[in-house]
A and B are shown apart, each in its own frame.
Chain A
């Protein structure tokens, strides 16, 4: 779930978590209307997150697990397994105030997934993690997806969208302005620009337009070319081969970052 600040991402997430109620509309989870029974099926890691500072890691995980419907015993067992897995088991009996920020983040992540929720909602999960821990958590998230959980992932960081997401929804000013699978959306936003490296001179009389040209390594020229987005790239290649010696030929696929900016900016100009 993408969107600029103030678009309504957190509000939507809070509605799904039944923290606040929607003014209108309804939310269905597997076809059933959202109800308090779903609380045990949802795991939520808010963007503004914290822990009880004076409580020990273990007590905290057991308490939060129980709030999500686990028994004390289950929460204790699973909490310890997760801490083992993330390498923080020796902190089980320590108070949270003695932990580093990264460790506290791990505890929060464990608390989110402890009850094996079917739906996991992560609001900016990587903020505050160093690259090593971010990688660790990313692997865990992918593992959870592998095991059949649905993950709603709210973020500003486009590189994590590129890496992790299958589907994308873009929210702007409380409206969904774009959604679909990441592949489809990228397909949709193909604009027929290509990046080529070549030897020789490009003539400008073809069915393509040269947007920019600059010298590249080994005496080659590098150009960005605009071609019809709907046409077959082979047609472009054929034309190019007729004119120059082609060394590289890459279609410029729009990044999620580009798509995001194009949508949000375009809208704000209206």
Chain B
């Protein structure tokens, strides 16, 4: 145990003393907000300088009236569709909308032409617009006056709350929970790969430099491996904590500077216009500001550290075993796939199942199974996960990493002393079965 700590200490110190550690630790929290701030800046600028786009309307039904708005101006064109298309193709205009003669109770055949593929939000914006117009026509036919129609217009923003059993109300915000989940899940994903690769690299280096035989004559291989794996993990935790502190500080300063330079009414207006795809950046900003204000940072940080450590130990052990089995990083490629697969499945599951349906059964299972739970549970956590699920997931993760440590230890103890052996899965299985 004492010696395991020595190995751990050496791993930690040798990594923390590196210049690259210092650079990464200081630069990442500077670069990350800088990138976000840069993106916001570009979004704001492009919105300011945005030209009003022209849209041509060929309305054969003669029912629709389009009024120019902030983003689009509309021009009615006459003649055949063929001619209109031809002219549109020569023009610089954004789009051509062709409305055939139609029945407002069965509106079919409206076509939208653009020169390049339009964004989803743009198409749905026009769809909403046309739907509203047709609805208004129907309402008019039903006998409503223009004044009545004006009165019918409402603007609703949902204020949503989470109700707990004890009756406490907690403000919830789908956007900020999405962003927490996204950032946390993705960070675990990156950490697993980055630090897992570091362990593997370290083991291969030790094996190649032949120091390993001297070390294992003083300490059990499993303890050496665990010291190494945990040593790298503590580098990760320390780095992460420094990042959290630096980034929180920098984000506050940076975001408040950007936020203050914009007119609040303008922010509101931009956030409300659904067509503006580039403006999603602003929603991100709003989400992040709210996130920082509303989120239990302490709880999430602690859970993050737990899931990072658990997931890292689980995969780090496997990475160490692979490192011990091979002589060069190139040889390691063939063994990487089965390790990387569940990590990638977890990230895809996060995108495909958790964000659309955070409490569905796929989300549940992916956040319980140890191989995917670190990424998926961190992605889910913002949506409010029952305590028993978190406890079960944590418990299984602990069992999971004990299992992989045991499995990896059995391969490691043989692998590190083998040089120039051609290794395949059969060899690994034989090493695993080899009695002590």
Contact = CB atoms under 8 A, between A and B. Distances in A.
Contact of B211 (A18, A19, A52): A52
Given A46-B210, A52-B206, A63-B6, 15 more contacts: A14-B217, A14-B417, A19-B417, A42-B217, A46-B213, A50-B210, A50-B211, A52-B209, A53-B205, A54-B14, A55-B14, A66-B6, A67-B6, A67-B215, A108-B214
A53 B6 contact: no
Interface string B16-54: 001000000000000000000000000000000000000
Nearest to B9: A63
A68 B218 contact: yes
A48 B217 contact: no
Interface residues of B, number: 21
Interface of B: 3, 6, 10, 14, 18, 205-206, 208-211, 213-219, 417, 419, 436
A110 interface: no
23 contacts: A18-B217, A19-B217, A19-B417, A20-B417, A39-B218, A46-B210, A46-B214, A46-B217, A48-B210, A49-B210, A49-B211, A50-B208, A50-B210, A50-B211, A52-B14, A52-B209, A54-B18, A55-B14, A63-B10, A64-B215, A64-B218, A68-B218, A108-B214
Contacts of A63: 6, 10
A89 interface: no
Of listed A20, A50, A53, residue having the most chain B CB within 10 A: A50
Nearest to B17: A54
Contacts of A52: 14, 206, 209, 211
Nearest to A46: B213
Interface string A40-82: 0010101011111111000000011011100000000000000
A21 interface: yes
A111 B214 contact: yes
B251 to A, nearest CB: 35
Interface string A92-104: 0000000000000
B218 A49 contact: no
Contacts of A48: 210, 213, 419
Contacts of A20: 417
B213 A67 contact: no
B213 A21 contact: no
Top 8 nearest A-B pairs (CB, nearest first) are A50-B210, A50-B209, A17-B217, A67-B218, A46-B213, A48-B210, A50-B211, A44-B217
A181 to B, nearest CB: 28
A102 B239 CA distance: 38
A157 B115 CA distance: 83
Contacts of B209: 50-53
Contacts of B211: 49-52
B14 A67 contact: no
Contacts of B205: 53
Contacts of B6: 63, 66-67
Contacts of B417: 14, 19-20
A17 to B, nearest CB: 4
A64 B214 CA distance: 8
Interface in A1-35: 14, 17-21
Nearest to A115: B218
B3 A19 contact: no
Contacts of A108: 214
Contacts of A19: 213, 216-217, 417
A47 B206 CA distance: 16
B3 A67 contact: yes
A210 B252 CA distance: 102
A70 B365 CA distance: 50
Contacts of A68: 218
